[in-house]
Homo-oligomer: A and B are copies of this chain.
Amino acid sequence: MNEFELIEQIVADLGASACAPWVRVGPGDDAAVIAVPAGMELVATIDAIVADVHFPATAGAALIGYRAVMVSASDLAAMGAEGGYLLVALNLPQGDPAWVAGLTRGMAEASAAIGVPIVGGNLAAGPLSITVAAQGFVPAGQALLRSGAEPGDGVYVTGELGAAAAALARGGLGQCASVADLDPLSARYFRPMARMDVGRALRGLARSAIDVSDGLLQDLGHLCDASGVGVALDSAAVPVAAGATLQQALTGGDDYELCFTLPPGAEARLPALDVALHRIGEATAERGVWLDGRQIPAGGYQHFHS
Contacts and interface: CB of A to CB of B under 8 A. Distances in A.
Interface of A: 1-6, 24-25, 28-36, 41-51, 53-54, 75-76, 78-79, 81, 85, 87-89, 91, 94-95, 119-127, 129, 131, 133-136, 138, 140, 143, 145-147, 209-211, 226, 302-306
A44 to B, nearest CB: 5
A134 B122 CA distance: 12
Contacts of A143: 24-25, 31, 33
Contacts of A119: 44
A46 to B, nearest CB: 4
Given A30-B211, A50-B125, A302-B2, A131 B89 contact: yes
Number of copies of this chain in the oligomer? 2
A1 B305 CA distance: 6
Contacts of A147: 29
B87 A44 contact: yes
A29 B131 contact: no
B120 A303 contact: no
A123 to B, nearest CB: 7
B87 A46 contact: yes
A194 to B, nearest CB: 11
Contact of A122 (B35, B48, B226): B48
A303 B3 contact: yes
Contacts of A28: 146, 226
Given A31-B44, A44-B119, A47-B122, A304 B2 contact: yes
